[in-house]
Chains A and B, each alone.
Chain A
Amino acid sequence: MIRRTSGARPARRLLVAGAAVAALSLSLAACSSDAGASDAGSSSGGDIALGYTATLTGDFASYGLEMREGVDLAVEQINAAGGIDGRQVTIVSADDEGSPANGPVVAQQFCDDSSIAAVLGYSFSSVALAALPVYDQCGLPVVASAVTSPELTGASSVFFRDVFTDAYQGAAMGEHVYDGGTKKVAVLYQQDDYGQGVSEAFSTAFEEAGGTVTSSQAYQLGTVDFATLINTALADSPDGVFIGGFYTEAAKIATQLRSSGSDLPIYGTDGAVSPDLVSLGGDSVEGMTVYSAFSAAAGTPAATDFVAAFNEKFDKDPSSWAALAYDATNVVAQAITDAGSTDRADVATALAAIDGFAGVTGDISFDDGGDRLGELVFLKVDGGAFVAE
């Protein structure tokens, strides 16, 4: 299962640095533009290569390694079924080391390798942002699986992602909570890009649906004492409490909310989806509702088959990153099949046209900004485990 620590949302951490490097790489890419702009990839016959890049070493390596498991499983299945139009699929891997400066370098490497038809992966939004100008130059399409920054929305015509943005997920949760009968909600959120972004989207959607946000209070990551915060939140007698933050704080808020005598329903985000939520929160998080892009417990036939195959290959349950990368790989394979060639421009066009592709994380389509459209999985803590609602 995926563990979310304070560093587990690297996507946003390096955003500013990423923007700066993106600007820099723009000028660099402009210098070397004609090198990558060849009609590479249109050659037929031989293996089809897919680029895979993510942070594969260091503190934040787990996302990249988990995505790679999903990619490997998908490639294995595609090749076992005869490949794409009879051509076997291979993976060309590169480590971006979590550094935005490596974004353009890796991108250029992929662009220059004419056998590569599309690129998968990306752990950090900042790295992807820095790389986009290079992909724009050579027209190489990217389907990313773990980067959620709003800055990537519409940033490039060849960039797609099958992970939901925080804004999309927060809004879906807002509607879900209102539809569940909770009309007044007190919001507590982690004071950073993640907590703020997801809570704003939640609040906006919840109020548009007709609900009332009674109060909205920020807290710092690492806060342990929520007694006063909870007091203030409960003063307006809400029907429920929404926590836009990670599991460490969510567990403490739940515990302290319960010990203050309140039995209001608690709603969380994907940041709270961790076995540690239950081990830290115990009985207090029972019944808490959260969402996730993928859950092994979701129970759709596609998800069940995937979990079984994954278990057989890796002897463990897939994380949501593995599931998203698995879907991204299959979407790319579908797009190459649809395009009938590995020409990069044709593949990009086919990706944009993907509509309702049945993945293990639900149906996949991309909007004009390259963002994922589809359904979230809502989960409830029941008997110490996350089960689909």
Chain B
Amino acid sequence: MTQTLINGLAVGGIYGLLAVSFSVVYGVLGMVNFAFGEVFMFGAFGALVASAANTQIAGADFAGPALPQWAAIGVGLLVGALVGLLIERIAYKPLRNAPILSMLITAIAVSMLLRAVGTFLFGASQSPVPAPALGDAISVLGARVQPIDIVIFGVAVLATAAFWALVRFSPIGRAIRATAQDKDAARLMGIGVDKVISTTFVLGSIMAALAGILYSQKYGFAAAGMGFLPGLKALVAAVLGGIGSIPGAFVGGLVIGLVEEFAAGYVPQGSAYRDVIAFGVLVLVLWLRPQGLLGRREVQKV
């Protein structure tokens, strides 16, 4: 019971971080950036390559910088931010006034393109990621807790809180909220809407990259396709929590993580159907509460 709870919180923390990315970008652009799953992947590879002494990129051997772990994580976040910035500039900016459907299709294309780039650079098979040296498991209420799980949950909570505080209290946060509320009015008030959108994208990408790095450390691998399923789950989490809401997205992530783990532990053959159960919960919540757990009822913009 305790064991399952802790597993669920660690998995949920990762989903929560990624869900925050989806949620804030949806807030300012009104679209789902499917490519966050790939930013997640590039963040993980960025940290992996930066920490390795020798690596293979696109089939050729390179001497890696072999940076210490903390610096490698910084590089991973930077790579994520850069990928996010490029996606926004190249793919979405030209479509600023295009119909939402064009943006959605572009988002799917960008996601597939980035996954292909990842496969080209890092190969189709999984690359091993060395486990961080965090010491042995500790005992909490009779459950064995891996230190990495505590780190993941702590980092996820702190990063989400920091992100929320940034959006809530800083000037750029105010601009983000204004843009999310009404793009045209924000522009009239002298807010550089394009710059705000780019900033939001970069911040969201850093969250996604952070989630990817934590994920690769916990499960010991990075792969070009690693972001697909977590991306889907995080999107579910964002919708579940009320898309556009940062605390909602994080809570949604925790709910999905917990539901999955409890389904695996307590439903007969639940481990084979954990995804079905997680998505089933989404359907149920949306039926009872269409605006999501912590979301506000949205007025359909025409």
Establish whether residues B220 and A255, one from each chain, have CB atoms under 8 Å apart when the complex forms: yes
A320 interface residue per 8 A CB criterion: no
A385 interface residue per 8 A CB criterion: no
Interface residues of A in 225-281 (CB under 8 A from B): 225, 227-229, 231-232, 248, 251-252, 255, 259-261, 276, 279-280
Query: For the complex, what is the distance from the CA of A49 to the CA of B275, rounded to whole Å?
Result: 52
A222 interface residue per 8 A CB criterion: yes
A302 interface residue per 8 A CB criterion: no
Q: A220-B275, A252-B220 are in contact. Are A231 and B4 (CB under 8 A)?
A: yes
Quick one: which of B11, B126, B146, B261 contacts A259, CB cutoff 8 A? B146
A191 interface residue per 8 A CB criterion: yes
- Smallest distance from the beta carbon of B85 to chain A beta carbons, Å? 28
Chain B residues near A232 (CB-CB < 8 A): 264-265, 271
Quick one: which of B7, B144, B146 contacts A228, CB cutoff 8 A? B7
Interface code B115-130, partner A: CB below 8 Å = 1, 0 otherwise?
0000000001110100
A43 interface residue per 8 A CB criterion: no
Establish whether residues B271 and A218, one from each chain, have CB atoms under 8 Å apart when the complex forms: yes
**B219 nearest CB neighbor, chain A only:** A224
Q: A5-B124, A218-B271, A276-B126 are in contact. Are A225 and B265 (CB under 8 A)?
A: no
**B264 nearest CB neighbor, chain A only:** A228
Establish whether residues B126 and A280, one from each chain, have CB atoms under 8 Å apart when the complex forms: yes
Report the interface size class on chain A: 20 to 34
Query: For the complex, what is the distance from the CA of A280 to the CA of B129, rounded to whole Å?
Result: 8
- Smallest distance from the beta carbon of B1 to chain A beta carbons, Å? 10
Query: For the complex, what is the distance from the CA of A232 to the CA of B274, rounded to whole Å?
Result: 15
Number of chain B residues whose Cβ lies closer than 8 Å to a Cβ of chain A: 24
Chain B residues near A276 (CB-CB < 8 A): 125-126
Establish whether residues A229 and B137, one from each chain, have CB atoms under 8 Å apart when the complex forms: no
Query: For the complex, what is the distance from the CA of A228 to the CA of B270, rounded to whole Å?
Result: 10
Interface residues of A in 195-229 (CB under 8 A from B): 217-220, 222-225, 227-229
Query: For the complex, what is the distance from the CA of A280 to the CA of B137, rounded to whole Å?
Result: 21
Establish whether residues B125 and A219, one from each chain, have CB atoms under 8 Å apart when the complex forms: no
A282 interface residue per 8 A CB criterion: yes
Chain A residues near B4 (CB-CB < 8 A): 228, 231
Chain A residues near B11 (CB-CB < 8 A): 225
B221 interface residue per 8 A CB criterion: yes
A183 interface residue per 8 A CB criterion: no
Establish whether residues B128 and A228, one from each chain, have CB atoms under 8 Å apart when the complex forms: no
- Smallest distance from the beta carbon of B225 to chain A beta carbons, Å? 8
Establish whether residues A191 and B144, one from each chain, have CB atoms under 8 Å apart when the complex forms: no
Chain B residues near A279 (CB-CB < 8 A): 128
Chain B residues near A282 (CB-CB < 8 A): 128
**A190 nearest CB neighbor, chain B only:** B272
Q: A231-B4, A231-B265, A260-B144 are in contact. Are A280 and B272 (CB under 8 A)?
A: no
Chain B residues near A13 (CB-CB < 8 A): none
Q: A225-B11, A255-B220, A259-B146 are in contact. Are A218 and B272 (CB under 8 A)?
A: yes
Interface residues of B in 244-302 (CB under 8 A from A): 261, 264-265, 269, 271-272, 274-275
Q: A252-B219, A280-B221 are in contact. Are A229 and B7 (CB under 8 A)?
A: no
B185 interface residue per 8 A CB criterion: no
Query: For the complex, what is the distance from the CA of A289 to the CA of B122, rounded to whole Å?
Result: 30
B95 interface residue per 8 A CB criterion: no
- Smallest distance from the beta carbon of B126 to chain A beta carbons, Å? 6
Establish whether residues A228 and B265, one from each chain, have CB atoms under 8 Å apart when the complex forms: yes
- Smallest distance from the beta carbon of B135 to chain A beta carbons, Å? 12
Chain B residues near A176 (CB-CB < 8 A): none
Interface residues of B in 84-134 (CB under 8 A from A): 124-126, 128, 131
A87 interface residue per 8 A CB criterion: no
B229 interface residue per 8 A CB criterion: yes
Query: For the complex, what is the distance from the CA of A222 to the CA of B225, rounded to whole Å?
Result: 10
Establish whether residues A280 and B271, one from each chain, have CB atoms under 8 Å apart when the complex forms: no
Establish whether residues B128 and A219, one from each chain, have CB atoms under 8 Å apart when the complex forms: no
Chain A residues near B7 (CB-CB < 8 A): 225, 227-228
Chain A residues near B131 (CB-CB < 8 A): 255
Central interface residue in B126, B144, B274, by most chain A CB within 10 Å: B126
Query: For the complex, what is the distance from the CA of A218 to the CA of B261, rounded to whole Å?
Result: 14
Query: For the complex, what is the distance from the CA of A279 to the CA of B229, rounded to whole Å?
Result: 23
**A276 nearest CB neighbor, chain B only:** B125
Chain B residues near A220 (CB-CB < 8 A): 272, 274-275
- Smallest distance from the beta carbon of A381 to chain B beta carbons, Å? 15
Query: For the complex, what is the distance from the CA of A232 to the CA of B7, rounded to whole Å?
Result: 13
**B263 nearest CB neighbor, chain A only:** A228
Interface residues of B in 211-252 (CB under 8 A from A): 219-221, 229
- Smallest distance from the beta carbon of B257 to chain A beta carbons, Å? 9
Chain A residues near B144 (CB-CB < 8 A): 260-261
Query: For the complex, what is the distance from the CA of A224 to the CA of B129, rounded to whole Å?
Result: 13
Chain B residues near A251 (CB-CB < 8 A): 220
B181 interface residue per 8 A CB criterion: no
B54 interface residue per 8 A CB criterion: no
**B129 nearest CB neighbor, chain A only:** A280
Chain A residues near B126 (CB-CB < 8 A): 248, 276, 280
Interface code B190-219, partner A: CB below 8 Å = 1, 0 otherwise?
000000000000000000000000000001
Interface code A67-79, partner B: CB below 8 Å = 1, 0 otherwise?
0000000000000
Cβ-closest 3 pairs across A and B: A218-B272, A228-B264, A227-B7
What are 7 sample pairs from A and B whose C-beta atoms fall under 8 A apart? A5-B125, A217-B272, A225-B261, A228-B3, A229-B264, A231-B265, A261-B144
Beyond A228-B4, A228-B264, A232-B265, 8 additional pairs, beta carbon < 8 A:
A5-B124, A220-B275, A225-B7, A225-B261, A228-B271, A229-B271, A231-B265, A276-B126
